[in-house]
Structure 1
């Protein structure tokens, strides 16, 4: 209940977050169109003298949300949007559950967007003229931003982003949409969120809130610049399942400019020799370490992690420095966080031993020296990101196998294909896959919204550790967490259940059930076994659709995207064909 209270406090009316910045820490969040010392020194001087050339103005913002439960507008919204005597300067109107149809959920396409947008436009305050600045939508979560026409010229740098927190952290039935903009001299971010319902789901809501804050990032016009997170704004307005309110906002405006100056003095930054070791790195488990850069020199300076020769980025894909570049005022400090996170893209090579947690960051100081920061760690191999064939040849849990044995097995598999089997008879399917499906078959065959409601990340970690170590024998966590763990397992496979080489044939023959069945019979034996095993399990789920509320189209949409993948980005037509292909195996068993 304490977590629930904490979350409630964070999301009530005082979530209108106005932050005041000192010159030193505000310098850390400046956008930098170019890594140019002269320009940034000027910005630093402007910040130090900010009070001399800026003043605050009050503006009113109408913040409102409406959970429409998939309905079309049936009556005027004027009583809601015209509830104030004076017309507000801005409107930020959010919607939840705009469209509950399967088409909207899986294809993000809905006629309701235009219907509700028009309803809002017709109902704005009649005593002012408004301009539509931006609209952003993720499935049924939508945010519309209007501003009085006389203020439009002072709006700039408008960006919109979305983040889904549904199944596998992607599907947009839950999540948030956001719009950021610069109004006069203040940066503002508006967030509309739709989180898990019911009191007992407070832990899930807390997790979603943290995910939204960390994952929702706005790309900058300069692609070399780091993205801007929600809280890196002068004001954050958060709405979601609230009614409405009028908020007064202090906005900084420029009243005069100071002259540019040249700065030729040198700077120095004391930085002790640093090295970082991350212990027991696991699949999809964040680890972070931080250090501080302090500028005790005579002038401001800037830093940047630079790329090494013949490498595309400044660090390995499993490593991130935040911020990767920045500007430090004289006498100020900045905290840099190094984060390690192994995902489905980086896990395969780490599992096989082809790569290790090892990198060297080069921290460059403008007009200064370079510092070399070694980053090492030990990675605990996982069934996540290990191939079907390798897992079928491993009788013991992954972490009980010597790394060298796993490496040789994967190397042999890559060179010999299906013939790369051990001298013993391989398993029919990976034991890890069997454990998850067996758990769901015994416990979740009638579970409502199975494979549609996400689980908890903490429970996924327990499930992953259980599969990788074999301890305990039964899986922990809720049915929804086990279901999501199964989807993540399929998503992380280096080669999908239907190998990439078979993908074109699947698209060409998707309308013929007999041809689809023939293609599956041609797969490598362990891949064929996994495909048929999953299809048989899903058909059992459909027999209990009255309880679990599943249908064949939902399952085809979810699983086709995991079992039949393209090495290139799929278009909408391809996605529909993969769903048609897999749908044959849900409505009828193999002949």
Structure 2
């Protein structure tokens, strides 16, 4: 080995640091364990005495070469560290990614040398000369790695004895300096040795390119909100902020550069609280194997033949067959003809009308399916025939709509007392029973895979399951996609009795999905669709993506890489059963938060254990494979004991009996569900009182998640006995949507819900099952290319972290437009101005917007600024977009004080100085967002200005309201489509402008025109909704709902303010006129009441009876 040239380190060693000693060495990789295939720990020097060939191969293999450098930092006092770096070809500059380990000479640091001479070993090094064979030296270094908590000693080998002596002497000197009494020997390494941060930070893996995705709670938070608190002249933790901005920038750019297209995965999720019962009905409709369009048309599902469970007869009232006698039971499909193609249920289907008792519950006798084989066909051949018959009944078009993955969550699977204490055969048998019911519904028996082949088209295989007492989660995937799923992990946690018992809690499943690289024309595997760009559309991604850059082309400009190893997506599924009873709202929130902390997946592996840093040498550089890098997800396995939570995932689905109730009076809930009057908007009205929605709004629980639109009836609680109402709900339990499915996703994975419904046709339990269909769209990129791109981008950002120390590399940002005039800005109007910024420095720089002080906002509420933070390369331009945003809240304030608007935006350059942008605008007042009292005291149109009239001179009702009503009550107006059709926004804007300016409406009433009256009606509704206080004050609403007759309702008007009385009478008279003009008076009346009740009697606290509020309004509309 020749002495290395210190010049190869020039690109990575900072000017403030000096290389004192540089040694050429090599490592001996560990052998592969023949039993597990995992690499073993590297051998020690003594063990290698008997393996001369292995040492010889390691010394001659250039991939095992290492450079050992003693680097000294001199600023006040000397501090040193030993760097271990991967060696490159002769003369090639090292890069930051070549730094493998950093050992600070500090505290417990130790370095030892051993000289080993053995004739048989040295002969392998000796050329064919008469000179004596040289010995080799081993160096063993021990110290906590500055970039991690790794304390694994590292052993290297060399023949450069003289340089070894210099290295030992320098390390001894530095150790004495570090151990001197004045040295802060108790300080953490990265506090005392802060100069190492730039070296070690560059080695930190990027979360999305690593084994564990970024926590969804962080990923869904805008980037600027993740940065440290900072104000004008008071920067926060710039060193940490620049790393966050840098990592986000690299995360997005690397994916873009490696992007090749997109792929999708269809997932069906079901949840069912089975109340301790066994499956006795065909589950095919719930699993999506049968069409299901609406609850009104849904038939009662026929009973399944009792399944073999191995349970004792006393645990199940019906007779059980002997083990092994299970027959797959087919769906209730007529064998006389083919079925219609299966199509996913979508949320766009019309809301179900009033249900009848027969379609929400049933006491129908439990009979076998009409297609169930007779008792004498309980044989493998019979099972095969049954599956064949199902295949004939379900055509290929229907099969193509089947989900790729099915995940089912069960609650109250086992209600026995024994199950709480120990896990016995009863719980396992119940899981087996439901599993057989699932397979029967899928049209396949237990041995379907063996009978039809491992990858039979349309068949499913069980991926995993996890049970905790009554909670069970089961995942099935299509057989032809089974190889795409791996790294399956499960977890469970109890939150029941004493906070730990399993009667309540959750079970979870985590799986990695890797899309197939290619798909044949006849395969149903998800195919990768090539696109010109695989850019993320997230706000966080946009915030760190520059608008133009010559140095970094966008995804659409670069040539798409070859797909060698596609990236994977982590999917997590949680099934939970939270605390019961209406009043246990806070306990349910606590259960959720407890589960998010305690549900942990064990993801550690023995692969890459001690000495794994030398495993880089196992990659054959002659192949078309990119070696693992510090940002790589491959080659960086998790150490044993490593765990991750449910949010460390690309997508997390949460299902189960969440037990959240409806905080509305019991009688109101039943009236809304059963009455024809509430057919329009019945679910929306009740969901305002839903506890889960409230918990999400108040960020007490599930605020990270989303939920699709609910268009099905509450799924709890049903009663098969006498104590039930006309819909089948238990009279002692208020109906509620206890059974829910939610999801959360990061910016690189898009989830579209295509179906969300309940199934009242099942009467197994006091709950109804629920299903949700999803399409998960994922960007596909080549993982090795992305890892290489990330390393390249790291090097491209060299100097960004050092800007606060390196005086020759100051960040320098220039604002092209420091004064921006937005002109006139108005209510709900859209316009934009852009501010151009340029990086005129020699190194990359990042900026963030900060507030003036801790009592100020970053920008006023009437202005939207994007991006709030960004990173720019040298000479790169970026445009900051300024968008006026006059909402109701902003208009309420600005209408009172609408002087010229000014503000100053402060752009803090991270590691640099602050820049200022002065923004000015002129607010154009509007009648929207004003109180009734102020509208009645205006001397004229609001744009005309002038002092407010004295209270005694106020008009009886706002001119704007009366103008709208008077125009619509003209004799030449057709009212049939008013409050029924969607309004034309351009017409609404014209009407609003006329109200504000006092100009005449530029429209001529016509009996042949529907768009105009529809727009006028919509404008009236929005004007009333913009009032700061509802027309009926909140304090009067509890009294209003007590009025049971029209006369009592009119007496209530005496308590209203004078202006409110006049508006109320005028508006309700107009609404009466609209309803009476309709061809279906009652339907129109209910529609209008549904629209105007939450506006005129706004109840933001959701404490007043919804039925009472609506009845009060109907007392005036019906006449």
Q: TM-score range by the shorter chain?
A: 0.5 to 0.7
The alignment partner of 1:442 has SS state of coil
Q: Taking structure 1 as reference, are residues 314 and 465 closer, same or farther at Cα in structure 2, changes over 3 Å only?
A: same
Change (3 A) 1:331 1:459: same
Structure 2 counterpart of 1:126, from 430, 439, 459: 459
Number of the residue aligned with 1:40: 245
1:342-367 deviation per Cα after TM superposition (whole angstroms, max 9, x unaligned): 12212122222266533222222211
Q: In the TM superposition, what whole-angstrom CA distance separates every residue of 1:4-56 from its partner, at most 9, and x where no partner exists? A: xxxxxxxxxxxxxxxxxxxxxxxxx996483321243355556676699x686
1:392 Cα deviation (Å)? 2.6
What CA distance in whole angstroms lies between the structure 2 residues aligned with 1:522 and 1:348? 25
1:264 corresponds to which of 783, 802, 805: 802
The match for 2:1118 is 587
- Give the Cα–Cα distance (whole angstroms) in 2 for the partners of residues 146 and 464 of structure 1: 55
Question: C-alpha separation between the residues in 2 aligned to 1:283 and 1:355?
Answer: 15
Change (3 A) 1:431 1:39: closer
Q: What are the Cα deviations for residues 198-246 of structure 1, in whole angstroms up to 9, with x where unaligned?
A: xxxxxxxxxxxxxxxxxxxxx999xxxxxx9xxx758798999xxx9x9
3-state SS of the aligned residue for 1:280?
strand
How many residues are paired up?
446
Alignment gaps of 5+ in structure 1: 1-28, 83-91, 104-109, 113-118, 133-144, 161-166, 173-188, 193-218, 222-227, 413-419
Contact 1:44/1:300, CA 8 A, preserved across alignment: no
Query: Structure 2 vs 1, CA of residues 264 and 67 (structure 1 numbering), >3 Å: closer, same or farther?
Result: farther
1:287 match: secondary structure: coil
Q: Are the equivalent residues in 1 in contact too, given 2:848–2:907 (CA < 8 A)?
A: yes
CA contact (8 A) 1:445 1:548 kept: no
Indicate the SS of the match to 1:346: helix
Q: Among 952, 970, 976, which residue is 1:448 paired with? A: 976
Residue 1018 (structure 2) aligns with: 484
Shift in Å at residue 536 of structure 1?
Answer: 1.3
Deviations 1:145-188 (A, max 9, x none): 9987827432334389xxxxxx9xxx99xxxxxxxxxxxxxxxx
Show the counterpart of 1:493. 1027
Which residue matches 2:351? 99
1:427 correspondence with 2:955: yes
- Give the secondary structure class of the aligned counterpart of 1:562: helix
Matched with 2:1075 is 542
Secondary structure at 1:345 match in 2: helix
Please give the residue correspondences for 1:148-547 in structure 2 after superposition, counting only pairs within 5 Å: 150=485, 152-153=511-512, 154-155=570-571, 156-158=649-651, 251-252=780-781, 254-255=783-784, 263-265=801-803, 266-353=810-897, 356-394=900-938, 396-402=940-946, 405-406=947-948, 409=949, 420-422=951-953, 426-442=954-970, 447-473=975-1001, 478-507=1012-1041, 509-511=1042-1044, 513-546=1046-1079
Gaps of at least 5 residues in structure 2 are 1-219, 228-240, 269-287, 300-331, 362-401, 407-437, 443-457, 466-474, 487-510, 513-569, 572-648, 654-679, 686-705, 710-742, 756-772, 804-809, 1005-1010
Given the superposition, is the C-alpha separation of residues 329 and 111 from structure 1 closer, same or farther in structure 2, using an over 3 Å criterion?
farther
Q: Which runs of 4+ in 1 moved over 6 A?
A: 46-52, 63-67, 74-79, 119-124, 145-149, 234-240, 246-249, 257-262
Structure 2 length-normalised TM = 0.35
Larger CA deviation: 479-488 vs 356-365: 356-365
The more displaced of 385-394 and 57-66 is 57-66
Q: Report if the CA contact (8 A) 2:927-2:942 is conserved.
A: yes
- The answer to whether the 8 Å contact 1:455/1:484 transfers is yes
TM-score by length of 1: 0.62
Q: CA 1:474–1:55 in 2, change beyond 3 Å: closer, same or farther?
A: closer
Structure 1 residue 131, shift from structure 2 partner: 9.9
Is the alpha carbon distance of 1:397 and 1:293 closer, same or farther for their aligned partners in structure 2, counting shifts above 3 Å? same
Q: Which residue of 2 aligns with 1:203?
A: none
SS of equivalent residue, structure 1 residue 360: strand
Counterparts of 1:46-57 in structure 2 under 5 Å?
none
DSSP-derived class of the 2:1108 partner: helix
Q: Contact 1:275–1:374 (CA<8 Å) still a contact in 2?
A: yes
Alpha-carbon distance between aligned partners in 1 of 2:339 and 2:360, rounded to the nearest angstrom: 22
How far the C-alpha of 1:297 sits from its partner, in A, is 2.7
Q: Secondary structure at the match of 2:865?
A: strand
Structure with the largest fraction of helix: 1
Compared CA separation, residues 99 and 42, structure 1 to 2 (3 A)? closer
Q: In the TM superposition, what is the alpha-carbon distance from 1:290 to its structure 2 partner?
A: 1.3
Q: Relative to 1, partners in 2 of residues 1:460 and 1:309: Cα closer, same or farther, differing over 3 Å?
A: same
Q: Distance in 2 between matches of 1:485 and 1:441?
A: 15
Q: Which residue of 2 aligns with 1:578?
A: 1109
Q: Tell whether the 8 Å contact from 1:319 to 1:338 is kept in structure 2 after alignment.
A: yes
Q: Distance in 2 between matches of 1:472 and 1:444?
A: 17
Contact 1:295 1:301 in 2 (8 A): yes
Match of 1:209 in 2: none
Displacement of 1:518? 2.5
Identify if the C-alpha distance between structure 1 residues 251 and 516 changes in structure 2 by more than 3 Å, giving closer, same or farther: same
Change (3 A) 1:326 1:72: farther
**Structure of greater Rg:** 2
Superposed displacement of residue 531, structure 1: 0.5
- Describe the SS at the equivalent of 1:308: coil
- Per-residue Cα deviation, 1:389-440 (whole angstroms, up to 9, x for no partner): 33333353222233xx14xx5xx7xxxxxxx233xxx433222111211222
Q: 1:316 to 1:102 in 2, by over 3 A?
A: farther
CA distance in 2, matches of 1:388, 1:516: 21
Whole-angstrom distance in 1 between the partners of 2:744 and 2:754 = 24
* Inter-CA distance 379–99: structure 2 relative to 1 (3 Å threshold): same
TM-aligned CA distance change 1:576 to 1:291, over 3 Å: farther
Cα shift readout 1:478-522 (whole Å, capped 9, x = no counterpart)? 222111100111011233322344344335x35465443322222
C-alpha RMSD over aligned residues:
4.9
Q: Which position in structure 2 is the counterpart of 1:138?
A: none
Matching residue of 1:176: none
| 1:323-378, Cα deviation, whole Å (9 max, x unpaired) | 22233344433322111121221212222226653322222221122222222212
Q: Given that residues 276 and 375 in structure 1 are in contact (C-alpha distance below 8 angstroms), is that contact kept between their aligned partners in structure 2?
A: yes
